[in-house]
Structure 1
Amino acid sequence: MRIGLAALVISLAAMAPTPARAATPLLDYVGQCVPFAREASGIEIYGDAWTWWDGANGKYNRGHAPKAGSVIVFAKSAKLRLGHVAVVSRIVDDRVVMLTHANWSRVNGERGHAEQDVTLYDVSRDNDWSEVKVWYRDVDGLGGSIYPVDGFIYPAGAPASGISSRNPDYVGALIDAYVPGAGSTR
């Protein structure tokens, strides 16, 4: 039985394995902070960001000291009705860390984009990370708002690759954090 060349090519193409779709880099993400933090950290918690702190109880270790790869949980507040979660990408000093997160600043005029190595400054009186300021792209510096924080959730495994750049701007982070008045609380 003779098979036509076209039919043979179609049959072989159908049997050939399809190439794996190229994985989208983590920083190309556009969406809410919760799915981004879950993917970047490996912490399997669902629900609004403010629910993560209680959701981690008994499932993950929690604390009040930042560690690279941990998820910081911003409490529900008037400015953050659903809270916020972000992954600590680098420790700069005892009051400054860098975050990688999504849906904070506007990028090209819209929210939802991922941002890498964003400055987070502890402005709490007792240096306990209970109140922070976050770098905000729209003002090219630390925003004026102070946000309450529940704490940090520590993942069981390693975070996704790409949460920190190879050469983050530590100098920029420190300048952002230590500008006059940046550390004053309400």
Structure 2
Amino acid sequence: MKFVPALALAAVALFTQSAVTQGAVARPLQCAPYAREHSAIDIHGNAATWWGQAEGTYARGKTPLAGSVLVFKATGAMPVGHVAVVSKIVDDRHVVLNHANWSRPGMVEKSAMAEDVSAKGDWSSVRVWYAPTQSLGLRASPTFGFIYAPGSDDAATTTAATTTLAADTAPSDSFQAAFADLPKQG
């Protein structure tokens, strides 16, 4: 497994903290309505059902694309799964997510780092930024993969162009550069 440098995690913490919002609504915002509102994927119901519902309507795959929705499987900790919108590809093992109801009920997080920790580099297991600990979550969460917005680039071509980082390599320049333009806390 590859470890993310403390400096990069600190940058994520500062940016995520400044990008966290919570609306003044009567009930907490859930991940599925948030993902539907902030993507071109119009699926309803519990997050874990999105993968099956997407079949035949939306392209699905194992390669992240900006605008796609990452679908998490239901687990004991997430009985209805989770969905998050990919806002930016950092490198082949890191993406930036926008999502709701992950770190705290109803909390919207923008620019939350997610790391592919799967053995095959297929995004079947991820760790996601968790605000209470100011780090990538300790728990790896299983995923189905990505649902692509209509008109997205073909995921198969993107997969062919993607290479897996070796476990012992330093983070890529693109990973470092992803945090260069973060707003500074004053």
TM-score tier by shorter-chain length is 0.5 to 0.7
Alignment of 1:1-186 (within 5 A): 29=23, 31-106=29-104, 111-156=105-150, 170-171=178-179
Distance 1:28 1:69 in 2: 22
- The number of residues matched between the two structures is 133
> 2:132 is matched by which residue type in structure 1?
D
Distance 1:64 1:93 in 2: 14
> 1:38 is matched by which residue type in structure 2?
R
**Could you tell me which residue of structure 2 aligns to residue 23 of structure 1?**
none
Instruction: Please state whether the residue corresponding to 1:82 is helix, strand or coil.
Output: coil
In the TM superposition, structure 1's runs of 4+ consecutive aligned residues that sit over 3 Å from their partners are 27-30
TM-score by length of 2: 0.67
Distance 2:110 2:97 in 1: 7
Give the deviation of 1:143 after TM superposition: 1.0
> 1:127 is matched by which residue type in structure 2?
G
Instruction: Please state whether the residue corresponding to 1:51 is helix, strand or coil.
Output: helix
Instruction: Please state whether the residue corresponding to 1:101 is helix, strand or coil.
Output: strand
Give the deviation of 1:116 after TM superposition: 0.5
Give the deviation of 1:157 after TM superposition: 5.5
Q: Is the 8 A contact 2:40 2:67 kept in 1?
A: no
Distance 1:94 1:31 in 2: 30
Instruction: Please state whether the residue corresponding to 1:37 is helix, strand or coil.
Output: helix
Radius of gyration: which is bigger? 1
Give the deviation of 1:156 after TM superposition: 1.1
Give the deviation of 1:34 after TM superposition: 0.3
Q: Is the 8 A contact 1:60 1:155 kept in 2?
A: yes
Give the deviation of 1:171 after TM superposition: 3.6
Q: Deviations over 1:108-146 (max 9, x none)?
A: xxx212111100000000000000000000000111101
Q: Which runs of 5+ in 1 are unaligned?
A: 1-26, 159-168, 173-186
Q: Which runs of 5+ in 2 are unaligned?
A: 1-20, 153-176, 181-186
> 2:123 is matched by which residue type in structure 1?
W
Q: Is the 8 A contact 1:130 1:149 kept in 2?
A: yes
Q: Work out the percentage of aligned pairs sharing the same amino acid.
A: 50
Q: Which has the higher contact order (CA 8 A, sep 6+)?
A: 2
User: What is the CA RMSD across the aligned residues, in angstroms?
Assistant: 2.0
